[in-house]
Chain A
Amino acid sequence: MSTLVEIRNLHKRFPIHGDLLDRIRLKGGRLELREENVHAINGVDLTVNKGEALCIVGESGCGKSTVARTVMGLIEPSEGSVHYQGQRIDNLSPREMMSYRRRMQMIFQNPYASLNPRMSITETLEEPIRFHQSDLGKAEMKDKVAEVMQAVGVDPSWGKRFPHEFSGGQRQRISIARALIVDPEFIVADEPISALDVSIQAQVLNLMMDAQEQRGLTYLFITHDLSVVEHFGARVAVMYLGRICEVAPTRTLFAQPRHPYSQALLSAIPRLEDERPRFIRLQGEVPTPVNLPSGCVFHGRCPHANDRCRNEIPALRQVDDVQISCHAVEENRIASG
């Protein structure tokens, strides 16, 4: 299995631009301008293998979208690097980035906002071709648009219609069509089905799985819905407060989550067979990414935290086919089961 995308020691800080007066402090008789940051990503290492679907899960604000946008080159990392087929891409000029832009496509959560309301479906689908494959003739372009529309289950005769004439599920199909039309290798999908109803989610997930099989696509799939991950992903990365807790083959993670946070997260999935809510209750609340906790970012909520956890950041360690960052797991302090 070859590596397609590699993220190395990624950090992303967003400065908080508060009121100037709020940021000025008197310290030791001198005025000081306080710099505050949101620590959105705090040292993420992750590889995506060619042909797989790697899912990133974690709760709101843990940095999933920031990872996605950094990989796509939409934002610059504060530290660390992103590599595509061995080539570093996070520091390329816009011109150098062009060829990667075609090979990597992104699908967003909101099918309402991500389509231009003033463009017909045909125009929406032709635009990326004009941009990336300007050598394509008119007739070829038309064929291509029809082919992709068919592939996503949107009747090509609807090409003259505008986004508002379509349902949420249909719009998301059109967004997927727009991503597929330039024959990408790699698709980053940020919560592509979260805004859709269950019966429509199944349609879109099926479409994405079909496209993967037929076109040999690689996915980085971001979601907070764990049952979707269980179904869709080959591997899962669990994030908490901008760090990776655990990366594991999906089946392994669902059979036996090892990181205390993965355990809590998986325990909270409502299951059809449940008689009442069953879950591992965490203490405390998610800390803000402005003042990161020392040591393990999860220590304040973790039932297994000790002094080492409070002081030393756990590294991501390989155990069998799983990577985990937890002192308690390393020290064998957590009974498995």
Chain B
Amino acid sequence: MALLEIHDLEVKFALRSGPVTALRDISFSLDRGQRLGIVGESGAGKSVAAFSILNLISRPGYISKGKILFDGNDLAQLNPSQLRNVRGNRISMIFQDPMMTLNPVLTVGAQMVESLQAHTRISRQEARKIALEKLRLVHIPSPEKRLDQYPHELSGGMKQRIIIAIALLLNPDIIIADEPTTALDVTIQAEIMDLLLELCEDRNLGLILITHDLGVVSQVTERTIVMYAGRIIEMGPTKEIINDAQHPYTQGLINALPQQGIPGRRLNQIPGSMPPLQQLPNGCAFHPRCAYAKAACKEQIPAFTQSGGCQVACHMVAELVNQAGKSPALENSPSTGQDS
């Protein structure tokens, strides 16, 4: 059994117009030392998935189905203090917006000491020592000085390092990072990604990295989940997904990247755009944009098919793979969904 296991998770939002399903059929697992990427376009459900893992989804959202097991325990069954223990001590989260974590009116040191003292019984002095050690770990220049600075005195890259240091305070097993570098410049993004990778490798941390940048996923993660309209549509080893994507959407996404085009020529675009949750079409949510869609795609939500090392939710995988001249090992997973 893996340290973190998500089974058949479904999340709904109770909107005035009625409930909408924001996530469905989400199943995956993660162990210490593993690095998992979650990619997808804006609104695909990446952040909702991250928040749900920590049972942090708040009204109007709620978990309507499925289980989240951490160390064998169902998070839904834990009492508030047990849940707080998992959230702080075992799984940390890094948010896209640094100010979701940093309090603008407290110095960096005060915040770090406060976090530590909220979870463990230690003196202020000891807490400061641990804080300093974590700042060193994330390679912050002159860490002693930083302890007494306020967030606004720090650059964006420095703030994100401090947030990583805060996430490391209680020696978690898993870090969930939701677009940790989206607001930062590429040179700083590269440094932060390098740091995350180093921490995972040196400290055997599990990482869930949420991003929309396939290049970043490729640099940092071993496995990748591709999401579309609230569902996992492809999941497998990162290299396989990047080099040999099976799902038409993943293929389209990779082919649309300027890196994949011939300079000056038109890019391979996917027509249309991702539908809002309230207007999901029947069948495969991607079918209105898909060049391979057949009748079944318009009626039935595709179940997962094993193809190579990947799980692919597409009715046409077998045919697509056969067309490419390969013989896939077909195997349907138990999760079959009928659109409601």
Contact = CB atoms under 8 A, between A and B. Distances in A.
A282 interface: yes
Contacts of B267: 202, 205-206, 231
A225 B259 CA distance: 11
B83 interface: no
A203 B266 CA distance: 9
B213 A270 contact: yes
A279 B194 contact: yes
Interface in A47-82: 59-60
Given A169-B273, A199-B270, A270-B213, A279 B158 contact: no
Contacts, number: 129
B42 interface: yes
Contacts of A271: 215, 218-219, 259
B220 A277 contact: yes
A136 B258 CA distance: 40
Interface in B175-191: 185-187, 189-191
Nearest to A193: B258
Interface in B119-147: none
A198 B259 contact: no
Contact of B270 (A167, A202, A273): A202
Interface in A239-262: 250-251
A224 interface: yes
A170 B271 CA distance: 12
A230 interface: yes
Contact of B269 (A199, A226, A270, A282): A199
Nearest to A270: B215
B187 A282 contact: yes
The B contact surface, by secondary structure, is helix
Contacts of A197: 41-42, 212, 273-274
A226 B213 CA distance: 13
A11 B155 CA distance: 25
A227 B257 contact: yes
Contact of A209 (B157, B214, B266): B266
Given A197-B41, A197-B212, A202-B267, A268 B258 contact: no
A321 B82 CA distance: 65
A57 to B, nearest CB: 10
B187 A268 contact: yes
Contact of B218 (A206, A273, A286): A273
B77 interface: no
Contacts of A279: 187, 190-191, 194
A170 B185 CA distance: 27
B139 to A, nearest CB: 10
A227 B259 contact: yes
A231 B256 CA distance: 11
Nearest to A61: B185
Identify the interface centre among A206, A234, A272: most chain B CB within 10 Å of its CB: A272
B80 interface: no
Nearest to B289: A199
A228 B259 CA distance: 8
B149 interface: no
A285 B187 contact: no
A276 interface: yes
B48 interface: no
Contacts of B213: 270
Interface string A107-118: 000000000000
A234 to B, nearest CB: 8
Interface in A201-241: 201-203, 205-206, 209-210, 224-228, 230-232, 234
Given A272-B242, A279-B194, A285-B157, A224 B259 contact: no
A281 interface: yes
A251 B218 CA distance: 24
Contacts of A281: 191
B94 interface: no
A264 interface: yes
B3 to A, nearest CB: 24
A152 B216 CA distance: 31
A135 interface: no
7 contacts: A198-B212, A227-B257, A251-B263, A267-B190, A268-B190, A277-B220, A279-B194
Interface of A: 59-60, 167, 169-170, 197-203, 205-206, 209-210, 224-228, 230-232, 234, 250-251, 264-265, 267-279, 281-282, 285-286
List of 10 A-B pairs having minimum Cβ-Cβ separation, nearest first: A270-B215, A231-B258, A202-B256, A279-B190, A59-B185, A202-B269, A197-B41, A202-B267, A268-B190, A199-B270
Given A199-B273, A232-B258, A265-B186, 10 more contacts: A197-B41, A198-B256, A202-B257, A202-B267, A206-B267, A224-B185, A270-B219, A274-B215, A274-B218, A282-B187
